[in-house]
């Protein structure tokens, strides 16, 4: 059952009816748990063991950590003023080490499962090449099906463990409630990567039915379906045409293809986000936003604060910060002081942490060298722009460039082209292909401009849908920069609002590519 | 307090630290600023800001930062 | 309460808009010569009268002419067969027709390929779905035979339109639909013959091979999918419970096709056994003693379906056999012990005219 399918709509409709039935009241969270596991089962029952293992490990780990926190607090309360400060400090150090061990074990198990299932064949393949055992990569144990959402729920669990360890929240006493947090179905396929402190009270509380929640949820889901089925899936044939046979196309077409893919991916992923957050809103649970008009970003750094926000926030809070203030980073800083000027050496710990984060981010997407390159390229560009800030400012001054609408537009277009160029890595089938594509983009010049070279594989109907869809999308995005869409909508008269909804709905039932395995798969579900 | 203020001003002269009370929540200080800041605080006040302390609340305003530093100093 | 009313009004509004939109899309895009329109209209005209129901896949749709059946069997028949009609759909269809009609006989054209198919494409399911007339039957089939994801395709014509921008054909379509002839019910340019039958004039050009060759879609009992057999049993039981005579017929195939099924004996034995077990009749026309003389190449449209002439011949044979069976004659003599193409006495290498 895909999220963008009609069966999902029926599933949600039935769930909403059951969820708000008066007899259910206090047990709404149980309904959600059952629904989440049902959803998971409908997407591959044999894999349920893995999510259960992760849930149990996380639950136990969190309980233990919470226990340590509580005993530490108790100890300090009782012994303050009684024991010397040094002893209290030693006690705290001991507890810290114990918590560290517990967290490490849990993370190793959870991450280990993820690495084994997702990266097993990649690692075996490379190890095999190294040790001259090519058959290692073919072993069936490395080709088990990857469970649904493992990349997402594993990160959520690790985040939860670290939050409990930090004392940011208490652990959940109920194993089943923990299971709900881990498996909550709107976020299981492709995120958003939620945090326990934000979700707990919402998931486990009681929610009264409000018409506003239902209306808002339906609006969002409708918009999400439109983006996915009418825009993204209609662009897919063209993007596939170019990249399945990139050898037959010129560099300019490939560059255009990258840009089309950026748009397609955005419509796809943000469409999914709207469907699931709309569905969740109907249940009274607000999920974190994953997008904030990313194409309005003026730099690559800002782009990553507007695109897949929960992922970059997760890496920032749980990898970047701890790493950048760690002993290793301090060492890097000391070494850098000896080599680089003051300004750069001060940034050295950040740069070190940033490279690790980007390496991991690339790896998180896929077990392949091209994704690692992709990650590192992102990191290098961001670091370079950081280090060269004064130089850029100097250039700007010399070229007499003024801050204004035109400059902002230039920055946005520049960012868009950079992120599009980086798309060769996900689009290519192999690392070699991606390098070949880059070469083509920069070296081969267009000899002819024709419809076939600008819009290969694009039918009239596809073009119509994409153009109309993108115009609507652009208008909505521009409006959203000023205020949330549903607020603007609520001020319009009934006829205007419902006119718009009906147009979207009719577009979907006419032009929508209905979710089948062939086209309905979401791009980010593969991660 | 003045020492802290001068560190902040040295890092980001463009920010009005007296008025801002949502430095992290509003994205006024980005992650690099925060890391550099932590490094300077550790050096200047002889404390060790740890992972547990890296919470938005602790860095949203100068007042909060100072409270955190004092707490860390008392623990030593 | 207030909420329920608010929501209810909006749901009604959505349904109304969808309904009107579908009507509009169908007017513009459903081809004027699409057969299902005529089939449904005509079936409604015969509501309450149909006594003999013809069903099955495209072989039955093109092979059995209700007008000949009517004349020769002195009955009122209707052909509800469709391409790749799934058996669970056939079951619903039989119930659907029987609801309003005094059906006494069901003639089901058996199709070994359908028995072995796990699932048919949505397109073919929709052809069956369109033939169901009562909303109850439609809903039951949606629940039983279609996945939830196929529902929009079934229910909304707008989801089926393949090319919204075929300007030329839309214009032509509207022109025809607005013409006096069309409004008067004349059928313009279609393969539709009457009472559900599709008949093509095309003739098979190929030669029938002399040497038996193994084909890909070889039939065997273990290849039959359980749910298909289940549906066939349900049909048999329904007919038996409602005193409806069930006649399974294996419509003649050109020699080439028979050979592509590998061993036609397996098919014959399988359905013979089934018919015996479930109190039905099975007439295997591929064992008919005059198969080679009656059903020559020119009687076929392609390597599987009878053309207009072939259907005439077959329908006459079928009706004749029915008449003789019901007047006590022994029709077993019409059939050989094996398929005429397998008769060993004929030398390999001899060509048929």
Band of pLDDT at residue B3, cut at 50, 70 and 90: confident
Predicted confidence at residue A518, as pLDDT, reads 38
CA A390 to chain centre: 32
pLDDT tens-digit series, residues A376-414: 888 888 888 888 877 877 887 777 777 788 888 888 999
Contact between residue C59 and residue C306 where contact means Cβ atoms under 8 Å apart:
yes
Among the ranges given (A4-8, A79-83, C7-11, C236-240), the one the predictor scored with the smallest mean pLDDT: A79-83
Does the pLDDT at position C213 exceed 80? no
Does the pLDDT at position A114 exceed 70? yes
Chain-wide mean pLDDT for chain C? 87
> Phi/psi at C306 (nearest 5 deg)?
-70, 145
Examine residue C65 and state whether it is found in any structural domain, yes or no. Answer: yes
Q: Which of C28, C122, C148, C154 is the best mutation test for A, with the most CBs of A within 10 A?
A: C148
Alpha helix locations (H) across chain C?
Answer: 2-29, 35-45, 58-63, 66-73, 87-100, 112-116, 122-131, 135-145, 151-155, 167-178, 180-183, 226-241, 255-260, 264-277, 291-294, 308-326
Does the pLDDT at position B54 exceed 80? yes
Q: Which of A2-6, A44-48, A346-350, C156-160 has the highest mean pLDDT?
A: C156-160
Q: Give the strands of the sheet with C105-109, arranged side by side.
A: C77-79, C52-56, C105-109, C245-250, C281-284
Does the pLDDT at position C184 exceed 90? no
What does the pLDDT average to over C7-21?
Answer: 93
> Phi/psi at A366 (nearest 5 deg)?
-165, 150
Strand partners, C52: C77, C105
What does the pLDDT average to over C158-175?
Answer: 87
Domain extent for C112: 35-121+191-342
User: Of all residues in chain C, what percent carry a pLDDT higher than 70?
Assistant: 92
Between C6, C148, C163, which is nearest A461 by CB? C163
Does the pLDDT at position C349 exceed 80? no
Closest CA to C155 of A509, A503, A230, A226: A509
Task: For chain C, say whether A467 makes contact (Cβ under 8 Å).
Answer: no
Q: In chain B, where are the structural domains located?
A: 2-75
Chain-wide mean pLDDT for chain A? 86
Examine residue C141 and state whether it is found in any structural domain, yes or no. Answer: no
**Which residues in B lie closer than 8 A to residue A324 (C-beta atoms)?**
35, 38
> Higher model confidence: residue A479 or residue A46?
A479
> Phi/psi at C281 (nearest 5 deg)?
-100, 145
Beta-strand runs (E) in A272-342 = none
Does the pLDDT at position C215 exceed 70? no
Task: For chain C, say whether A505 makes contact (Cβ under 8 Å).
Answer: yes
Contact between residue C209 and residue C306 where contact means Cβ atoms under 8 Å apart:
no
Q: What is the largest CA-CA distance in chain B?
A: 34
Between C7, C18, C149, which is nearest A514 by CB? C149
| Residue C110 to residue C250: CA distance in whole angstroms | 5
| Residue C316 to residue C335: CA distance in whole angstroms | 16
Predicted confidence at residue C344, as pLDDT, reads 57
- Please state the ipTM of this predicted complex: 0.90
Per DSSP, the three-state class of C113 is helix
Closest CA to C296 of C242, C344, C348, C341: C341
CA of A246, closest CA in chain C: separation in Å? 28
| Residue A402 to residue A242: CA distance in whole angstroms | 39
Contact between residue C124 and residue C84 where contact means Cβ atoms under 8 Å apart:
yes
Task: For chain C, say whether A13 makes contact (Cβ under 8 Å).
Answer: no
Flag whether B touches C (3+ CB pairs, 8 A cutoff). no
Examine residue C103 and state whether it is found in any structural domain, yes or no. Answer: yes
Predicted confidence at residue C214, as pLDDT, reads 42
Examine residue C185 and state whether it is found in any structural domain, yes or no. Answer: no
Band of pLDDT at residue C284, cut at 50, 70 and 90: very high
Examine residue C49 and state whether it is found in any structural domain, yes or no. Answer: yes
| Radius of gyration of chain A measured on its C-alpha atoms | 25
Contact between residue C104 and residue C52 where contact means Cβ atoms under 8 Å apart:
yes
What does the pLDDT average to over C1-18?
Answer: 89
CA-nearest residue to C151 within chain A is A6
CA-nearest residue to A215 within chain C is C7
Task: For chain A, say whether B11 makes contact (Cβ under 8 Å).
Answer: no
Q: Do A166 and B27 touch (CB under 8 A)?
A: no
The CATH number of the domain where C75 resides is what? 3.40.50.1110
| Radius of gyration of chain C measured on its C-alpha atoms | 22
Closest CA to C279 of C242, C321, C252: C242
> Phi/psi at C76 (nearest 5 deg)?
-115, 115
Band of pLDDT at residue B35, cut at 50, 70 and 90: confident
Alpha helix locations (H) across chain B?
Answer: 2-11, 31-45, 56-59, 62-75
Alpha helix locations (H) across A80-206?
Answer: 85-130, 150-166, 175-183, 185-188, 196-204
Among the ranges given (A277-286, A429-438, C199-208), the one the predictor scored with the smallest mean pLDDT: C199-208
Q: Do A322 and B49 touch (CB under 8 A)?
A: no
The DSSP string of A407-472 is HHHHHHHHHHHHHHHHTHHHHSSSHHHHHHHHHHHHHPPPS---HHHHSTT--HHHHHHHHHHHHH
Neighbours of B, requiring at least 3 CB pairs below 8 Å, are: A
Q: How far apart are the first and last CA of chain B?
A: 19
pLDDT tens-digit series, residues A231-270: 998 898 889 888 888 888 888 888 888 999 999 999 999 9
CA of C139, closest CA in chain A: separation in Å? 15
Task: For chain C, say whether A509 makes contact (Cβ under 8 Å).
Answer: yes
Task: For chain B, say whether A386 makes contact (Cβ under 8 Å).
Answer: yes
Between A7, A461, A502, which is nearest C149 by CB? A7
- Per-position b or e across A26-37, b if 16+ CB within 10 A of its CB: eebbebbbebbb
Torsion of CA C162, C168, C172, C178, to 10 degrees: 90
Predicted confidence at residue C219, as pLDDT, reads 83
Band of pLDDT at residue A447, cut at 50, 70 and 90: low
Task: For chain A, say whether B51 makes contact (Cβ under 8 Å).
Answer: yes
Chains A, C: CB pairs < 8 Å: 51
> Which class in CATH covers the domain with range B2-75?
mainly alpha
Examine residue C259 and state whether it is found in any structural domain, yes or no. Answer: yes
Among the ranges given (A318-327, A450-459, A471-480, C161-170), the one the predictor scored with the smallest mean pLDDT: A450-459
- The 8 Å CB, 24+ separation contacts for A257-261 are A257/A427, A258/A420, A258/A421, A258/A423, A258/A424, A258/A427, A258/A441, A259/A416, A259/A417, A259/A420, A260/A235, A261/A235, A261/A420, A261/A423, A261/A426, A261/A427
Predicted confidence at residue C259, as pLDDT, reads 63
Chains A, B: CB pairs < 8 Å: 46
| Residue C128 to residue A350: CA distance in whole angstroms | 65
- Report CA-CA distances (Å) from B48 to A317, B12, B38, B40, B74: 18, 22, 9, 11, 12
Q: Which helix (H) or strand (E) holds C225?
A: none
| Residue A127 to residue A130: CA distance in whole angstroms | 5
Q: Which residues does B5 contact at the CB level (< 8 Å), separation at least 6?
A: B17, B62
- The tokens 């000949």 sit on which residue? C68
Closest CA to C81 of C35, C139, C20, C145: C35
Neighbours of A, requiring at least 3 CB pairs below 8 Å, are: B, C
Q: Which residues does A478 contact at the CB level (< 8 Å), separation at least 6?
A: none
Does the pLDDT at position A519 exceed 50? no
Band of pLDDT at residue A176, cut at 50, 70 and 90: very high
| Residue A9 to residue C155: CA distance in whole angstroms | 15
CA A42 to chain centre: 23
Band of pLDDT at residue A525, cut at 50, 70 and 90: low
Closest CA to C275 of C114, C107, C145: C107
CA of A509, closest CA in chain C: separation in Å? 6
Predicted confidence at residue A346, as pLDDT, reads 78
Examine residue C56 and state whether it is found in any structural domain, yes or no. Answer: yes
pLDDT tens-digit series, residues C252-266: 988 767 766 667 888
């Amino acid at each position: 059952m895909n999220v963008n399918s009609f069966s999902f709509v029926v599933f949600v409709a039935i769930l909403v009816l059951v969820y708000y039935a008066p007899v259910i009241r206090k047990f709404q969270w149980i309904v959600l748990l059952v629904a989440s596991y049902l959803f998971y089962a409908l997407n591959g029952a044999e894999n349920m063991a893995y999510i259960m293992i992760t849930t149990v490990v996380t639950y136990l780990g969190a309980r233990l950590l919470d226990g340590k926190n509580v005993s530490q607090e108790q100890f300090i309360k009782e012994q303050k003023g009684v024991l010397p400060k040094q002893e209290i400090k030693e006690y705290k150090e001991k507890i810290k080490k114990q918590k560290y061990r517990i967290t490490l074990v849990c993370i190793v198990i959870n991450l280990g499962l993820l690495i084994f299932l997702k990266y097993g064949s990649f690692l075996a393949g490379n190890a095999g090449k190294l040790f001259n055992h090519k058959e290692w990569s073919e072993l069936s144990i490395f080709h088990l099906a990857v469970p649904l959402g493992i990349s997402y729920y594993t990160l959520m669990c690790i985040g939860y463990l670290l939050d409990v360890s930090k004392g940011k929240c208490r652990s959940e006493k109920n194993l089943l409630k923990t299971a709900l947090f881990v498996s909550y179905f709107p976020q299981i396929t492709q995120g958003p990567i939620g945090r326990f402190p934000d979700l707990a009270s919402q998931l486990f509380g009681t929610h009264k039915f409000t018409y506003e929640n239902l209306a808002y949820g339906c609006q969002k889901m409708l918009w999400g379906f439109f983006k996915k089925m009418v825009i993204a899936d209609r662009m897919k044939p063209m993007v596939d045409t170019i990249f399945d046979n990139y050898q037959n196309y010129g560099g300019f077409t490939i560059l255009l293809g990258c840009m089309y893919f950026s748009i397609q991916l955005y419509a796809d992923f943000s469409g999914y986000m709207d469907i699931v957050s709309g569905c969740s809103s109907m249940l009274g649970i607000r999920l974190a936003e994953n997008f904030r008009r990313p194409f309005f970003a003026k730099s690559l750094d800002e782009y990553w604060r507007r695109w897949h926000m929960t992922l970059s926030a997760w890496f920032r809070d749980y990898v970047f910060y701890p790493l950048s203030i760690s002993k290793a980073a301090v060492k890097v800083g000391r070494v850098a002081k000896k080599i680089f000027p003051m300004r750069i050496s001060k940034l050295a710990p950040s740069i070190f942490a940033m490279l690790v984060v980007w390496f991991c981010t690339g790896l998180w997407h896929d077990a392949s060298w091209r994704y690692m390159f992709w990650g590192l390229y992102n990191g290098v560009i961001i670091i370079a722009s950081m280090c060269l800030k004064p130089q850029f400012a100097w250039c700007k001054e010399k070229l007499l460039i003024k801050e204004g609408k035109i400059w902002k537009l230039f920055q946005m277009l520049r960012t868009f082209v950079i992120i599009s160029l980086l798309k060769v890595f996900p689009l290519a089938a192999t690392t070699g292909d991606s390098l070949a594509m880059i070469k083509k983009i920069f070296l081969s010049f267009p000899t002819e401009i024709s419809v076939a070279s600008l819009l290969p594989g694009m039918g009239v109907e596809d073009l119509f849908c994409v153009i109309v869809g993108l115009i609507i999308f652009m208008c909505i995005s521009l409006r959203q920069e000023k205020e949330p869409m549903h607020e603007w909508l609520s001020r319009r008269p009934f006829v205007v609002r419902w006119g718009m909804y009906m147009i979207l709905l009719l577009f979907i039932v006419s032009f929508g590519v209905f979710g089948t395995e062939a086209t309905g798969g979401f791009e980010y579900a593969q991660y | 307090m003045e020492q802290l203020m001068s560190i902040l001003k040295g890092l980001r002269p463009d920010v009005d630290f007296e008025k801002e009370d949502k430095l992290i929540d509003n994205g006024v200080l980005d992650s690099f600023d925060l890391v550099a800041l932590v490094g300077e605080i550790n050096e200047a006040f002889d404390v060790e800001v740890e992972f547990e302390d890296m919470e938005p609340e602790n860095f949203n305003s100068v007042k909060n930062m100072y409270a955190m530093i004092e707490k860390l100093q008392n623990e030593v | 309460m207030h909420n329920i009313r608010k929501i209810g009004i909006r749901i009604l509004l959505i349904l109304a808009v969808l309904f009107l939109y579908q009507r509009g899309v169908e007017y513009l895009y459903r081809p004027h010569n699409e057969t299902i329109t005529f089939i449904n209209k005509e079936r409604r005209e015969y509501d309450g009268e149909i006594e003999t129901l013809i069903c099955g896949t495209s072989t039955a749709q093109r092979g059995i002419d209700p007008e000949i059946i009517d004349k020769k069997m002195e009955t009122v028949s209707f052909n509800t067969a469709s391409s790749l009609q799934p058996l669970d759909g056939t079951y619903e269809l039989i119930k659907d027709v029987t609801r309003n009609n005094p059906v006494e006989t069901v003639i089901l054209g058996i199709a070994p390929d359908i028995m072995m198919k796990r699932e048919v494409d949505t397109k073919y399911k929709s052809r069956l779905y369109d033939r169901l007339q009562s909303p109850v039957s439609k809903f039951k089939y949606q629940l039983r035979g279609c996945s939830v994801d196929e529902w929009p395709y079934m229910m909304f014509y707008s989801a089926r339109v393949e090319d919204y921008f075929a300007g030329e054909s839309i214009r032509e379509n509207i022109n025809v639909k607005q013409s006096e002839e069309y409004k008067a019910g004349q059928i313009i340019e279609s393969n539709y013959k009457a009472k559900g039958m599709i008949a093509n004039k095309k003739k098979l050009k190929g030669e029938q091979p002399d040497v038996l060759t193994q084909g890909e879609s070889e039939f065997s009992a273990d290849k039959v999918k359980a749910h298909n057999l289940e549906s066939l049993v349900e049909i048999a039981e329904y007919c038996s419970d409602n005193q409806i005579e069930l006649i399974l017929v294996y419509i003649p195939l050109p020699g080439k096709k028979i050979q592509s099924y590998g061993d036609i004996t397996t098919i014959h034995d399988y359905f013979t056994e089934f018919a015996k077990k479930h109190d039905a009749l099975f007439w295997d026309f591929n064992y008919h003693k005059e198969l080679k003389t009656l059903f020559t190449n020119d009687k076929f449209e392609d390597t599987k379906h009878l053309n207009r002439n072939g259907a005439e011949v077959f329908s006459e044979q079928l009706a004749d056999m029915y008449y003789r069976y019901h007047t006590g004659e022994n029709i077993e003599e019409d059939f050989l012990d094996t398929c005429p193409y397998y008769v060993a006495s004929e030398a390999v290498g001899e060509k048929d005219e």
